[in-house]
Structure 1
Amino acid sequence: MLTVVRAVQVGQVLTEDDLGKASLALDPAVKAVGSDDLKSVVGKRAAVELKPGSLLSPSQVTKNNLVKAGEQLVPIGLDPEQIPATALVPGQKVKLVHVPAQGTAGTDKASDAAPQTLDGRVVKASGAAPGTGIVVVDVATAAADGPTAAAWEAAGTLQLVLAAPDGE
């Protein structure tokens, strides 16, 4: 079986130096990449963060870029109180919601209009930064939506909301 011998970040291309071999008997229910498949795995990308000492499974690698053609990657910094209790994982669908800053035009009166939203997909979420607890989430959006999401983020008017698995 193939094992992970050094940490590999999400989206990083796998090399032979990242992988090792282990001899062990596995239950047929366990899906792991056999050592004979080394050449077919090298050059693919990590679909999730790979930790040293773990077995490599087929679902942990992909031949695709994590940011697809027609998409842009937008980094979003979230304060500790904005982090959902549910772990953010690559591939998870999210909504980027524009929430106007308090005290700006349009926030003093009630509005029946739905807030502006953009669809996104989590590519990677960092660990909490020491001292601040801020988590940076890399979100892939449609290329046309990337600048808008970046502007909302820069203005501090962006909120990340987890979408249902079907995207609604």
Structure 2
Amino acid sequence: MLAALIVALAAWANVVLVNRLDDRVEVLSVVRTVPAFERITDADLGVARIAADPGLRPVPASERASVVGKVAAVELRPGTLVVREQVTEARPPFPGQQLVGLAVKPGQMPGGGVVPGDMVLVVTVASEQPGSSAVPGGDGVRAQVVRVGPPSSDGSVTVDVVVSVPNGPPLASASSAGQVALVLLPRGG
């Protein structure tokens, strides 16, 4: 009788386990880092099976084609699930913004560099030429990093940032004169 009870409990446990596995859904996961504002490729995505949860809103694996070719709105990291808010159609600049390439020399940005998605403060550095104009906003201009180019032979890099429309031309001018430096702001800051 005890043996029959154990067999019945084991069978019941197997049924519960199989039913729980059936509650899992296939969703998109990230398998390779995708920097903010870069296109998402098929190779960047994987499939994860998770328990259905109304508090989570990951993109179903069946909708993979709707994500491939889109742009990451934030940096996508391996091991995370893809949600719609992380995917966009367009790259910056957006309305009211301008994209500015800043030539930044060594020592004019943090030693660890900056990455797409970082928020920075673009400040004017001392000019070697008298009468040069300063960048508006005395304390610097807030900007978001979109791309970082490779280092040139002298160690300088071009950092593409988006800024509000009135700040674009003065920043471009200051950058061409070698008068800008980047201050990294805290995440979310």
Normalised by the size of structure 2, how large is the TM-score?
0.58
Q: Give the aligned partner of residue 146 of structure 1.
A: 168
| Cα distance in 2 for residues equivalent to 1:162 and 1:67 | 20
From 157, 160, 163, the counterpart of 2:179:
157
Instruction: Count the aligned residue pairs.
Output: 155
For the pair 1:62 / 2:88, whether they are aligned, the reply is yes
Q: Offset of 1:149 from its aligned partner?
A: 0.3
8 Å contact kept, 1:93–1:121: yes
RMSD: 3.9
| 2:94 pairs with 1:72 | no
1:148 maps to amino acid: P
**Larger-gyration structure (1/2):** 2
1:120 equivalent in structure 2: 143
On the 8 A contact 1:3/1:56 being kept in 2, the answer is yes
Q: Which amino acid aligns with 2:94?
A: K
State how far apart, in whole Å, the 2-side matches of 1:132 and 1:54 are: 37
Structure 2's unaligned 5+ residue stretches are 1-26
Question: Residue 127 of structure 2 is aligned with which of 101, 112, 127?
Answer: 101
1:2-41 aligned at under 5 Å gives the runs: 2=28, 10-14=36-40, 17-18=42-43, 21-22=46-47, 33-41=59-67
- TM-score, with structure 1 as normaliser: 0.64
Question: How much does 1:37 deviate?
Answer: 2.8
Distance in 2, Cα, partners of 1:23 & 1:166: 28
Runs of 4 or more, structure 1, over 6 Å off, are: 3-9, 23-26, 53-56
Q: Deviations 1:108-150 (Å, cap 9, x if unpaired)? A: xxxxxx9462221111223x42643322211101111101000
Q: Which has the higher helix share?
A: 2
| Equivalent pair of 1:99/1:115 in contact (CA under 8 Å) | no
Q: Which amino acid letter does the alignment assign opposite residue 47 of structure 1?
A: A
